[in-house]
């Protein structure tokens, strides 16, 4: 399907933000808002967001990507994923204003943009949002990182002949290796009760609360070769709240083979595009 692209500007807290709207010739009633992870801008790593928006628009889905305040061509001070609720809200306003056919919005986000999408819904309960596409959500805490290192790094290293060869020939410091392992064990054993005072754990709790309360369909895409995705899966196993929420039938979970964090190859990027389009069609938000 033919589509056009146009730059639009909109305001958020007296700052001017830039968005790029990809508009199909015959737009669907569902629009996809690409929420950008940081620190980066609307094009994305290896042009991922640009190519995604064009693929979606080519199949009929209006798509908008934009720069937060302080990023890319938007004015203001740079922000992190926990402080962009107003940016997302104003972007949705601008999207709906510039595409009158839109009846619902799907938020699409990778890494901390997936987290930002959930935090936005937890804070705003925006009924215009009818679906979520979340890729490798960022749930990092000291504990989850330590558990992931123990299971997926140290566990694999101990099975590698190369590691033992370097250790025995002095190319890997024994004391350094042991100290690193013990640090991870110590962090992994910290009581969750101690960590609830930390802001990083609080954002996780808000994320899972948001996902549990959301009534629309959700597509969860995880990379097969990525520590952020592995941390998410560890969090799912260790936290009963995540475990219970992710059992919900509204959530479709897919793993993309050996893909890295940003799906950097043409094959992996294309797989994500296909998964997104097939899910949009199948779940009936078209």
Q: Which helix (H) or strand (E) covers residue 232, if one does? A: helix 227-238
Provide the CATH number for the domain formed by 3-141+201-282 in this structure.
Answer: 3.40.50.1820
pLDDT in tens, 162-174: 644 555 666 555 5
Put simply, whether the predicted model's pTM sits higher than 0.85 gets the answer no
Sheet holding 104-110, edge to edge: 3-12, 15-24, 63-66, 30-35, 104-110, 129-135, 218-223, 251-256
48-58 helix and 266-282 helix, angle to the nearest 10 degrees? 40
pLDDT in tens, 126-158: 999 999 999 999 998 765 555 544 554 545 555
222-256 burial, b if ≥16 CB within 10 A, otherwise e?
bbeebbbbbbbbbbbeebebbeebbeeeebbeeeb
Answer yes or no: is pLDDT of 184 > 50.
no
> DSSP secondary-structure letter at 67?
P
Give the separation between CA 190 and CA 118, rounded to whole angstroms: 26
Answer yes or no: is pLDDT of 15 > 50.
yes
Q: What is the CA radius of gyration of the chain?
A: 20
Joined tokens for residue 186: 């110590």
Joined tokens for residue 274: 């296909």
| pLDDT of the residue at 38 | 81
Answer yes or no: is pLDDT of 30 > 60.
yes
Q: Which helix (H) or strand (E) covers residue 66, if one does? A: strand 63-66
pLDDT in tens, 187-200: 445 544 444 444 44
Mean pLDDT, residues 111-116: 98
Burial class from Cβ neighbours inside 10 Å (0-12, 13-18, 19+) for residue 36 reads buried
User: Between the CA atoms of 195, 201, 202 and 207, what dihedral angle is there, to the nearest 10 degrees?
Assistant: -150
Q: Can the peptide bond before residue 213 be classed as cis, meaning omega within 30 degrees of 0?
A: no
Joined tokens for residue 30: 């569902």
Joined tokens for residue 182: 């013990």
């Amino acid at each position: 399907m033919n589509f056009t692209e146009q730059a639009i500007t909109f305001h958020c807290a007296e700052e001017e933000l830039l968005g790029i709207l990809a508009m199909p010739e015959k737009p669907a009633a569902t629009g996809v808002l690409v929420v950008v992870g940081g620190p980066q801008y609307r094009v994305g790593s290896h042009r991922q967001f640009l190519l995604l928006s064009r693929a979606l628009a080519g199949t009929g889905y209006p798509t908008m990507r934009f720069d937060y305040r302080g990023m890319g061509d938007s004015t203001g001070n740079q922000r992190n994923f926990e402080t962009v609720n107003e940016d997302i809200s104003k972007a949705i306003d601008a999207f709906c204003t510039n595409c009158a056919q839109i009846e619902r919005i799907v938020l699409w986000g990778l890494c901390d943009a997936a987290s930002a999408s959930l935090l936005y819904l937890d804070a705003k309960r925006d009924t215009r949002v009818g679906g979520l596409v979340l890729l490798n959500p960022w749930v990092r805490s000291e504990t989850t990182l330590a558990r992931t290192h123990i299971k997926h790094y140290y566990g694999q290293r101990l099975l590698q002949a190369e590691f033992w060869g370097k250790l025995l020939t002095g190319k890997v410091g024994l004391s350094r290796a042991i100290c690193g392992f013990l640090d991870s064990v110590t962090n992994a054993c910290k009581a969750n009760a101690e960590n609830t005072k930390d802001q990083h754990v609080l954002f996780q709790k808000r994320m899972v609360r948001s996902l549990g309360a959301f009534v629309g369909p959700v597509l969860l895409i995880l990379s097969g070769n990525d520590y952020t995705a592995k941390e998410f899966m560890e969090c799912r196993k260790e936290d009963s709240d995540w475990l219970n929420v992710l059992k919900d039938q509204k959530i479709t979970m897919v793993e993309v083979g050996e893909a890295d964090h940003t799906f950097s190859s043409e094959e992996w990027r294309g797989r994500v595009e296909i998964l997104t389009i097939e899910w949009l069609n199948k779940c009936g938000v078209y």
